[in-house]
Amino acid sequence: MDNLISIVANTPLFGGLSDEQLAHIGGITLEKTYKRGEAIFWEGDPGIGFYVVASGKVKVYKTSSEGKEQILHIYGPGHPIGEVPVFSGSRFPASAMAIEKSRLLFFPRKDFVDLISKQPSLALNMLAILSVRLRQFTVQVENLSLKEVPARLASYLIYLTEEQNSGEVVSLPISKGQLASLLGTIPETLSRIFNKMTLHKLITVQGSRIQLLDREGIEDLSSSGRLGE
Amino acid sequence: MDNLISIVANTPLFGGLSDEQLAHIGGITLEKTYKRGEAIFWEGDPGIGFYVVASGKVKVYKTSSEGKEQILHIYGPGHPIGEVPVFSGSRFPASAMAIEKSRLLFFPRKDFVDLISKQPSLALNMLAILSVRLRQFTVQVENLSLKEVPARLASYLIYLTEEQNSGEVVSLPISKGQLASLLGTIPETLSRIFNKMTLHKLITVQGSRIQLLDREGIEDLSSSGRLGE
DNA sequence: GTAAGGCCTTGACCTAAGTCAATGGGGCTC
DNA sequence: GAGCCCCATTGACTTAGGTCAAGGCCTTAC
């Protein structure tokens, strides 16, 4: 079983730090475990520190007044979550929940800010992480506003092939219901679109295994093409 | 007329720096002016530095393959733009264009990264700015995905009253066409919604002057209420 | 085995909002 | 002043995708 320090040492945020510094970081962290479905924090809670996922899988999401959910990110091991209030404002802009049994490291805000002030490379690492997230958000806004649901699903499948690079078969890392929420739609609509894509011989679906039959066709669709009739 | 240094000294990004440091920053910057409608950079261009708006107004936006536009931000004096490639990746994730005659300062990536490595407070300022943007993006995604257009417009009007705090009258800082693009819709739809809100006695509209007649009603609407019939 | 609950799918229906086309007005230029 | 162009508006129509309701299937519990 991996200890705190070795987890810390392997997350990109702490890349390039000396052993001594890693030990110090290990000293300020707190480990917590969460069951599947357990809340990590809620939108609007005061954020007195941030988390790094050590194992498991976590969703960060918003909920509408009618209860509809939009997932903003899904993060696995190595990703920080809830870092926005560390640097601005004081409340979490969204909620976070474990979608499987997860272990998280917690870093108190003040200790971390002290550390970052002394460690330019840590600051630059964090800047890089936030920049990547900004980039991802531009894509999410683009998807929601400028693309229809079939195109969003196609983009997601292409993203998965790159993530998993397992040839033409990918396996959905989350339930179809959660995927609907990530893509900004509902399970009924997602189901119908899987159907249409199957009819068009772009994919085959067996449970969470998706086979991509026509990579080029899927790419066309993802860059905002249409799915005929 | 304000010179470079005084502009630099008054942008939040450079808050808390010594005169000497400000002078140094003034030394690495380059001033550029843009006419209304002139492109500053395009999505996908390599980003060899970032900009700070000194005067005027700039939109940052994405375009779909069919030519529809989604505005991500509109920035005025003091705001940095195009900073994502400074810290991650190398290409701009979106395009930027002056929507009025504007003056911008350009900071070369390398010089700025050198500076930030030596200046923890500069790093923390930048972290704060990026965090605010992440927070704004969570709101934009929430709006696009979980709210209908009338609720988005209502939120925007409330935001304007706070921004301008001029009592119950606000003036739109951008054309209605651009506002439509910011809210993720089209001018026709926006126009109809202005109408409906007027019929419901929530607002009156004269050109770009909007009077808020029923602040509470508008707040209800913004938090995802409905506009009857 | 049987019961129960979660997840997914399917069908019928509805509606928010986009498309297309035409018109009106305000401010330019010449 | 005439002609233009840009912007906003209005009307008629279409459609993507959401809502509601029902049913199937698979897993877990006992």
Q: What mean pLDDT value characterizes chain B?
A: 93
Are A120 and B117 an interchain contact pair (Cβ–Cβ within 8 Å)?
Answer: yes
What is the C-alpha separation between B140 and B145, in angstroms, rounded?
8
Judge contact between A149 and A189, C-beta under 8 A: yes
Contact A113, B124 (CB under 8 A): yes
* Angle ∠(A133,A138,A141) on CA atoms, nearest 5: 120
CA of A224 to C1' of D4 (A): 35
Contact, B148 CB vs strand C, < 7 Å: yes
Nucleotide nearest to B189 (CA to C1'): C17
DSSP bridge pairs for A205:
A210
Q: Which two tokens stand for residue B89?
A: 């990746």
With contact defined as beta carbons under 8 Å apart, do A123 and B116 qualify? yes
pLDDT in tens, B65-99: 888 999 999 999 999 999 999 999 899 999 999 99
Q: How far is B163 from A142, CA to CA, in rounded Å?
A: 26
C1' of D25 to CA of A200 (Å): 26
Rounded to a whole number of angstroms, the distance from the CA of B121 to the nearest CA of chain A is: 7
* Nearest by Cα to B225 from B144, B151, B149: B151
φ, ψ at B135 (rounded to 5°): -60, -45
Q: What is the 3 state secondary structure string of A160-218? A: HHHHHCCCCEEECCCCHHHHHHHHCCCHHHHHHHHHHHHHCCCEEEECCEEEECCHHHH
What pLDDT does residue B206 have? Answer: 92
Is some CB atom of chain A closer than 8 A to the CB atom of B134? yes
Which ranges in B29-89 belong to alpha helices (H)? 84-87
A65 touches chain B (CB under 8 A): yes
For chain B, say whether A90 makes contact (Cβ under 8 Å): no
pLDDT, tens digit, for every residue of B175-201? Answer: 999 999 999 999 999 999 999 999 999
Q: Which of A42, A86, A88, A118 is best to mutate for the B interface (most B CBs within 10 A)?
A: A88
From the list B66, B86, B89, the residue facing A224 with the nearest CB is B66
List chain A residues with pLDDT less than 50: 1, 229
Q: What is the model's pLDDT at position B228?
A: 59
Read off φ and ψ for residue A102, nearest 5 degrees. Answer: -140, 150
Contact A127 B126 (CB under 8 A): yes
Tell me if B88 sits within 8 A of A135, measured CB to CB.
yes
Sign of torsion over alpha carbons B180, B185, B186, B188: negative
DSSP string, A29-40: -EEEEE-TT-EE
Q: Does residue A195 reach within 7 angstroms of strand C, measured from its CB?
A: yes
Q: What are the residues facing A52 on neighbouring strands?
A: A80, A105
Per-residue pLDDT at A224? 67
Structure confidence by residue, pLDDT tens digits, B141-182? 999 999 999 999 999 999 999 999 888 999 999 999 999 999
Q: Helix H segments across B119-210? A: 120-146, 149-164, 176-183, 187-199
CA distance B156 to A79: 32
Longest dimension (CA), chain B: 62
Instruction: Write out chain B residues lying below 8 Å of A126, CB-based.
Output: 127
Hey, what are A214's tokens? 């026509």
- Taking the C-alpha atoms of residue A152 and residue A222, their distance in angstroms, rounded to an integer, is 6
**Interior/surface letters A89-112, b for 16+ CB within 10 angstroms, e for the rest:** eeebbbbbbbbeebbbbbbebeeb
Decide if A152 contacts A143 (C-beta within 8 A): yes
Residue in this structure with the two tokens 């923890």, named with its chain if needed: B120
Q: Is the CB of A177 under 7 A from strand C?
A: yes
CB A105 within 8 A of CB A56: no
Contacts of B72 in chain A (CB under 8 A): 138, 141
Residue B170 CA to C19 C1' — how many Å?
31
Q: What is the distance in angstroms measured between the alpha-carbon CA of A222 and the sugar C1' of C9?
A: 24
- Provide the 10 A C-beta neighbour count for residue B187: 14
Amino acid letter for position A153: L
Whole-number percent of chain A with pLDDT over 70: 97
- Most A CBs within 10 A among B145, B147, B149, hence the mutation to make, goes to B145
CA distances from A62 to A69, A82, A94, B144, B213 (A): 6, 13, 5, 12, 30
Read off the pLDDT band of B1 (50, 70, 90): very low
Per the DSSP assignment, residues forming a β-bridge with A204 are A211
The answer to whether A198 touches A157, Cβ cutoff 8 Å, is no
For residue B215, pLDDT over 50 is answered with yes
Residue B226 touches chain A, beta carbons under 8 Å: no
The tally of CA atoms less than 13 A away on the side-chain side of residue B17 is 29
Query: CA B117 → CA A124, B13, B85, distances in Å?
Result: 8, 15, 17
Cβ neighbours of A115 (radius 10 Å): 18
